[in-house]
Structure 1
Amino acid sequence: MKKVNFALLFFFAVVSMSAQDITGNWKGVLKVPGAELNLVLHITKSENKLTATLDSPDQKALGIPVTSTTFENSTLKFTVDNLTIEYEGVLDKNQIITGTFKQMGQSLPLVFTR
C-alpha cells in the first residue's frame, strides 16, 4: 500500500511540475548604468504556441513585439530581434524567473515576478 501511495504522490508531483503556467504578466527592473528601467513581459498562449510583447514604461515603449518565446524545462527564453535583445531565465517554485538580459554585448541580471 505504501508503494502505491508513493507512486501516486510521485506521479502528481511530476504532473504539477510539468504543468507550470508561464502565461500572464511579468514585471522586472533592469538596472543599467545610471538608471533603472521597469519592464513588463506579457506572455500568451494560443494553439500550443507562446507569444509575447514587452513594455518599457519608463521609455514610453509599449507593445514591443517579441520575436520568439519558448518555455521548456522551467526555462523561459525570448528574443526581440530588431532590438538585439535576448533573455534566458529559470522559473522557480515561488513563481520568480531569474535570468540574464542581453543587449548589444551587455549582459545584465533581470528577475521577473508576477
Structure 2
Amino acid sequence: MKKIYKIMLGSLFCFALIMASNVSMIGFAQRQDTSEISIEGIWEGKLKIPGGELRVVFKISKNPDGTLTATLDSPDQGATDIPIEEVIFKDNTLLLEVKSVGAVFEGKVSEDFLVIEGDLKQSGQTLSLTVNRVDKAVEILRPQVPKKPYPYIEKKVAYTNLKAGVKLVGTLTLPSDKSVFPVVLLITGSGPQDRNETVFGHRPFLVLTDYLTRQGIAVLRVDDRGVGESTGYFSQATSEDFASDVLAGVEYLKTCKEI
C-alpha cells in the first residue's frame, strides 16, 4: 500500500511539472502574441471639456520605410485628416504631436494593445484622454454632400499636358447624353488639392459640381498635378505650370462632343 502511495505521489509530482510547464508555455505564447500586436490602427476616445465632450480619433499607419504616420479627426468639430507631424512609439508609450493645433498627446498602451491612457496638452491645459482601439472610425455626416445615384452622367477622364508631360485625371459630369451643354472647368486654389478640393472632410467642388450639373451645366474638375491620380510634382511647379494645366483642360473639353 505504501509502495502504491509513493507511486501516486511520484505521478502527481510529474503531473504538476507537466501542468506548470504547460502554463508556462501558454503564458509564453500569450506574451509572444501580444508582442506582435502593432500600434497601427484606429483609436477613438472622448475628451472631457467644460460643458461637454469632444470625440477624438487617431489613425496610425506605417510607412514603407517602417516609420509611423498618423492623422487626427475631431468629428464634433467637423475636422478630419489633420496631419500629426510627430509620431513616436517606444517602451509601450505613444507620443503624438499635432503642431498645426499646438497639441501633444502622450499615453501608455495597455498590455493587450486595446487601450491607451494618457493626457492631451494644448494651450497650457492638460486634459485626461483615454482612447480605445476600434475597427471603424465614427462617420462624419455632411448633409450637403450629394448622394448617389446622381440624376446625371459622371465619368472619369484623363488627358495630358503635352508641354509638361503631365497626365491630369479628373471627373466630367454631364446633365445627360442627349444634348450639347455649356461647361465649367473648376480651378483649385492655393496648395495641393484633389478634384473635390477636399479640406477637413468637406468637398466643396463636389457640392458645386452637383448643383451646376443639375442646372444643365457640364462640369470638369481635376486633381492638381502630383495629387490624387494626376502625375507630376506639385512642389516643383510654378504658377505658369498650373496655368498650362488649366489650358490643357480647355483643349481637352474642345474634343468632347457633348460640350
TM-score of the two chains, using structure 1 as the length reference: 0.85
Cα distance per residue 1:48-102 (max 9 Å; x no partner): 1000000000000011000111111110100001211001001112411000000
Establish whether residue 19 from structure 1 lines up as the match of residue 22 from structure 2. Answer: no
Q: How does 1:1-114 map to 2 (within 5 A)?
A: 15-46=32-63, 47-94=65-112, 95-114=114-133
| Aligned partners of 1:20 and 1:74 also within 8 Å | no
**C-alpha RMSD of the superposition:** 2.1
Higher-helix-fraction structure? 2
CA–CA separation in structure 2 for the residues paired with 1:102 and 1:20: 27
Gaps of at least 5 residues in structure 2 are 1-16, 134-259
Report the residue type matching 1:68 in the other structure.
E
> Which runs of 5 or more structure 1 residues have no equivalent in the other structure?
none
CA displacement at 1:111 relative to structure 2: 0.3
Distance 2:89 2:43 in 1: 14
Q: Secondary structure in 2 aligned to 1:39?
A: strand
1:12-52 deviations in Å (ceiling 9; x for gaps): 56644543311010001000111200011100012210000
CA distance in 2, matches of 1:35, 1:5: 50
Per-residue deviation, 1:9: 6.9
Identity of aligned residues (%): 39
The one-letter code sitting in structure 1 at the alignment partner of 2:93 is T
Partner of 1:58, secondary structure, is helix
- Asked if 2 retains the 8 angstrom alpha-carbon contact of 1:69 and 1:79, the reply is yes
Query: What is the aligned partner in structure 1 of residue 257 from structure 2?
Result: none
What is the letter of the counterpart of residue 125 of structure 2? Q
Identify the structure with the greater strand proportion: 1
Mapped to 2, the partners of 1:5 and 1:39 lie a distance apart of: 42
What SS does the corresponding residue of 2:38 show, helix, strand or coil? coil
| In structure 1, C-alpha distance between the alignment counterparts of 2:62 and 2:90, rounded to whole Å | 14
